[in-house]
Amino acid sequence: MKINVKYSTMIVNDLEESVKFYRDVLGFTEGYHVDLPNGAKITIMNSEDGASVELIEGKMFETGLYSIGTDVDDLDETLEHLKANGCEPISPVVPTTVGRQVFIQDPNGVRICLIEHSKEYKEKYM
């Protein structure tokens, strides 16, 4: 089982303003942008060391830190391990535009998103 922290997800009030801050002030580069059917907008901002900040503007979320995003090599194996150690998912496994994901919580209630990226995504972005 392999889990790597890749990004933090931030819910923002103004995506354009936040992109400018992370790009112009902190020196991040824009990775890619996604407009979701529910009206939410996502932009991935990449740091030089490979870690990212996922910025989401969407009225259905409360502004602030939403979750810690991780990359897992095998989601099913990871879930088996977590369940065997008393950690139950707080959401179903769902398909995404980049693969599939599920959320768990740490003992403090912090959401952790476990993402298994699709082969196509890995070839294009990783």
Residue 123 parent element (H or E): helix 119-125
Residue 36's pLDDT band, with cuts at 50, 70 and 90, is confident
Name the helix (H) or strand (E) containing 120. Answer: helix 119-125
pLDDT at site 26: 92
Whether the predicted pLDDT of 11 surpasses 80 = yes
| Neighbouring residues of 94: CB distance < 8 A, sequence distance ≥ 6 | 100, 101, 102
pLDDT per residue as tens digits for the range 51-61 = 899 999 998 88
**Residue recorded with tokens 């088996």:** 80
Per the CB < 8 A criterion, the answer to whether 57 and 14 are in contact is yes
Which residues sit opposite 29 in a β-bridge?
46
SS (H, E, C) 30-84: EEEEEECCCCCEEEEEECCCCCEEEEEECCCCCCEEEEEEEEECCHHHHHHHHHH
The 10s digit of each residue's pLDDT in 12-34 is 999 999 999 999 999 999 999 99
